[in-house]
Amino acid sequence: MTRAMRSENFSLFHDNLDDYTKEIIVEKFYEDGMEVVEDYVIKEDKIEFFLNGNKFLSVMSIAQHQDAHILGFLLSEAVIKSFDDVESIVISEDGLKVEVIANISEEGYANLFKEKTLTSGCCIGVTGNAEKVFDCSFINTDYRVSVKNILSNMKLFNTSSKLFDNTGCVHKAELVLEDGEIFVAEDIGRHNAIDKVVGLASINKKDIKKSVLYATGRLSMEMVVKCVMHRIPIVVSKAAVTFQGIKSANEHGITLIGFARGNKMNVYTHSGRIDV
């Protein structure tokens, strides 16, 4: 069975904005008048996730990188350990249903149906792992990155995409691997964007244990927990961090960086990985 099966009529990697946006008429008001203009808004879809024949989740997302999204989510929730556990991923022709056949952790799967935590994420993220059901060992790595490298990558990361230029309504996540290879994903939800970018790296059989994750959203506890589950040692955002995010990063060995803008950044935990 093919590892990542897709409909012949559907491509995850097209750049046709019509697939993700709707053109609307907007009345713009100013202090001295108004005008009627054409504009674009993001199109969010309800996408259904199936695992081994059972529907287990519906997500409000943009219909892009759906295979990476479900894979990243299952990895985040410890339902699977790696892409090697996946036998097939099939995306429906309309892009709104994703079906995975995989060898799963029964404990991880059962945890999906226990009491959930409604997270602080945009578009209301839901996770079964915010209570640290699955213990993770401390991330202990000799991987180091310079301040110059991080800020330089952040400037490139902050370059807007076609989708953001047209809607102003997507978060972005980017993984920069040790060899410089980059994976990027966007979504209306910052959690979704992280799941997608991790899923993309996993599909491509990349080791992300020596990488830096760049994110556009605030780094709260559940965002950090995702990175703990994926063993990502350094996490950077141009936005703020929360106290619980700092506590989780410190406990699990993640270098947490916020307000990375221009020529400065705040390092909240495990600064020994950062070279001046």
CA dist 172 → 7, 56, 220, 275 (Å): 26, 25, 16, 26
Q: What's phi and psi for 51, nearest 5 deg?
A: -130, 120
The rounded distance, in Å, linking the Cα atoms of 231 and 254 is 9
The rounded distance, in Å, linking the Cα atoms of 34 and 40 is 18
**Does 240 appear as a known binding residue?**
no
**Does 261 appear as a known binding residue?**
yes
The rounded distance, in Å, linking the Cα atoms of 165 and 163 is 5
The rounded distance, in Å, linking the Cα atoms of 193 and 200 is 11
**Does 262 appear as a known binding residue?**
yes
Beta-sheet pairing, 211-215 with 234-237: parallel
227 labelled catalytic: no
The 3-state DSSP class for residue 37 equals: strand
Q: What's phi and psi for 226, nearest 5 deg?
A: -55, -45
**Does 259 appear as a known binding residue?**
yes
Choose, from 122, 123, 136, 227, the residue flagged as catalytic. 122
Q: Give residue 256's identity as a one-letter amino acid code.
A: L
Which residues lie below 8 Å from residue 274, measured CB to CB, with a gap of 6+?
Answer: 144, 145, 146, 147, 150, 255, 257, 267
Binding residues: 259-264
Q: Which residues carry out catalysis?
A: 122
